[in-house]
């Protein structure tokens, strides 16, 4: 088991288990009978457009329920035990506006903490602490609508981190950010997140990762140490560049 060095403590990596997971929509199989057992601090998820990465991420977060099989994170069946799941897995989407539901920054941060059972007062204090930790105490009471896209990403990240999940899933959440902002986001994550699973189309973003899972057509094509898997993935993508998209349609 890999260990993540965070700013405050040493936390074991989350245990991710898929047992014969299948998922279909509109009569199409999007994830085919997939089994997996991994426990690493930094995991990359790569694959062509439509290969099933976001669907797998949503299954891992318990946002959708498998038609058959189970998804367990640290032993929590995330689709069935939603209460435990929101303490265990956090997910960051590409577009912060799909995630933020409250008008002000601190309401947004406190909401997640209320969801995990904290009282209003404790949740509000937790929101303030999170803002202070990121040097953003002056965002207290700030309207989300007045923040830039990068700043909204940071709000989403803080909201997820405040809940201290064992696993944070990033579904291309930094697309469209400028390079310094993206680097800053990664620095924050490196300091605080125990386990991260990142979906990306940029293999360079995964160079320091422990493991890479490569999806093809709704199944795991490869799952292993980052460097050799990325090498084979990049070689396959270079070869396939004229072969048309890998979509399940
Ligand atoms: N709600 C849905 N109903 C029907 N089909 C869907 C649904 N969501 C996704 N799909 C299909 O499932 C397949 C996998 O989609 P998914 O979003 O998981 O791929 P992805 O690997 O994340 O792709 P990308 O790299 O383009 O983001 C695609 O063919 C997509 O059209």
Q: What is the pLDDT of residues 54-107, one digit of tens each?
A: 999 999 999 999 999 999 999 999 999 998 999 899 999 888 888 888 899 999
Rounded CA separation 59/22 (Å): 10
Q: Residue 249 falls within a domain, yes or no?
A: no
- Summarised one tens digit per residue, pLDDT across range 180-211 is 877 877 777 777 778 999 999 889 889 889 99
Nearest CA to ligand 1 atom 2: 25
Give the model's pLDDT for residue 1: 41
Length reported for the chain: 249
Q: Residue 114 falls within a domain, yes or no?
A: no
Q: Residue 176 falls within a domain, yes or no?
A: yes
* pLDDT class of 213 with cuts at 50, 70, 90: very high
Nearest CA to ligand 1 atom 3: 25
Q: How far, in Å, are 68, 169, 209 from residue 43 at the CA level? A: 24, 9, 6
Q: Residue 233 falls within a domain, yes or no?
A: yes
Q: Which residues contact 49 (CB under 8 A, 6 or more apart)?
A: 245, 246, 247
Query: CB neighbours (10 Å) of residue 209?
Result: 22
- Summarised one tens digit per residue, pLDDT across range 49-63 is 999 999 999 999 999
CATH number of the domain encompassing residue 73: 3.40.50.300
Q: Residue 24 falls within a domain, yes or no?
A: yes
What ipTM was predicted for this assembly?
A: 0.96
Q: Residue 173 falls within a domain, yes or no?
A: yes
Q: Range of 215's domain?
A: 13-101+166-242
Q: Residue 62 falls within a domain, yes or no?
A: yes
Count: domains in the chain: 1
49 lines ligand 1 (CB under 6 A): yes
* pLDDT class of 245 with cuts at 50, 70, 90: low
Query: What are the structure tokens assigned to 198, written together?
Result: 């990142």
31 lines ligand 1 (CB under 6 A): no
Q: Residue 1 falls within a domain, yes or no?
A: no
- Do residues 208 and 227 touch, judged by C-beta distance below 8 A? no
Strands, E assignment, the chain: 3-5, 10-12, 16-25, 28-38, 42-47, 68-73, 76-77, 89-92, 167-171, 195-199, 211-216, 219-225
- Do residues 174 and 201 touch, judged by C-beta distance below 8 A? no
- Do residues 233 and 213 touch, judged by C-beta distance below 8 A? no
Rounded CA separation 83/106 (Å): 22
Query: What are the structure tokens assigned to 39, written together?
Result: 């426990």
Shortest-distance atom of ligand 1 to CA 48: 25
């Amino acid at each position: 088991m890999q260990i993540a060095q965070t700013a405050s403590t040493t936390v074991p990596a989350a245990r991710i288990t898929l047992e014969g997971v299948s998922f279909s929509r509109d009569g199409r199989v999007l994830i085919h009978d997939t089994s997996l057992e991994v426990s690493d601090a930094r995991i990359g998820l790569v694959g062509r457009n439509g290969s099933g990465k976001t669907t797998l991420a949503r299954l891992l977060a318990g946002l959708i329920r498998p038609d058959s099989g189970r998804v367990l994170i640290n032993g929590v069946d995330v689709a069935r035990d939603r209460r435990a799941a929101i303490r265990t897995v956090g997910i960051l989407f590409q577009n912060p506006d799909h995630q933020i539901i409250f008008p002000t920054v601190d309401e947004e941060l406190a909401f997640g903490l209320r969801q995990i059972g904290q009282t209003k007062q404790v949740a509000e204090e937790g929101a303030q602490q999170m803002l202070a930790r990121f040097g953003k105490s002056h965002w207290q009471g700030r309207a989300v609508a007045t923040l830039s896209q990068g700043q909204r990403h940071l709000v989403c990240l803080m909201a997820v981190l405040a809940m201290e999940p064992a696993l944070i899933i990033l579904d291309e959440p930094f697309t469209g950010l400028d390079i310094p902002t993206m680097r800053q986001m990664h620095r924050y994550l490196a300091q605080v997140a125990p386990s991260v699973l990142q979906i990306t189309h940029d293999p360079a973003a995964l160079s320091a990762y422990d493991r890479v899972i490569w999806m093809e057509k709704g199944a795991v094509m490869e799952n292993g140490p980052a460097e050799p898997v990325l090498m084979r993935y990049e070689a396959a993508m270079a070869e396939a560049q004229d072969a048309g998209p890998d979509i399940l349609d």
